[in-house]
Amino acid sequence: MPAEPAKKVDTSAEVPAKKVDTSAERVDTAAEAAAEKVGTAAEAPAKKVGISAAAPGRARVRANLRPLDGAIALLLMILAAVGLTGQPWSVVLTGAALTAAATLLAVIDVRTHRLPDRLVLVGLAIVAVGLTLAAVLTGGWPALGRAGLAGAVSGLVYLALALLRTGGLGLGDVKVGAVVGVWLGWFGWTAVVAGVLATFILGGVFAAVLLLTRRAHRRSAVALGPWLFLGAAAATALHIGGHLLH
């Protein structure tokens, strides 16, 4: 009879032990679940960052454009085609397409002070393919060779200016200068020089107006992309106008 209380004691001692083991298992399970949640939450931002980092340049370009910009580019493209009347049709198409790309680049440069490589490469492809086609159809191989050389020279000139002027020209401007040089080189070295001069004259006048009206100061950043394209347009117009007068 005295042994029976001992059994009861042992049984009551086993029950708390089982409860402790069960609670310990629950704690481990809860800890594992929490760890999985933390891991999932940590992976999600990483995946999002990976997606945003791998986002195509096209999406970034579109983010800086508005529907009206496309309409303006189309209008200017038509005007460029009309202005190039009398040139070989391949040159007309090249100039019109380059004008559309240049318009979008200028708009983005004004808004962000950046010239996206994707659009710059599109412009380069336009002049390279278009002028090569023009050389095939018209036999203008000397003009094509001069265009390529003019693009290289223009790029080197703008690169030298970018290295000399701190906070002035950027690498995007250098690349655009090379593209513009290829286009103007098709028409001759006079057009290339006129384009460079027109770029800095027009840009300088604009900067002076901003300073006089106190809308900018000497250290204000001014987008050069639009003036590179306007300078090229002015040089092209002068070249074609000069030929028409003769």
pLDDT tens figures, 36-69: 544 444 344 333 333 333 345 566 666 678 889 9
| pTM, to two decimals | 0.74
* 107 pLDDT tier (thresholds 50, 70, 90): very high
Q: One-letter amino acid identity for 63?
A: A
The count of residues in the chain is: 246
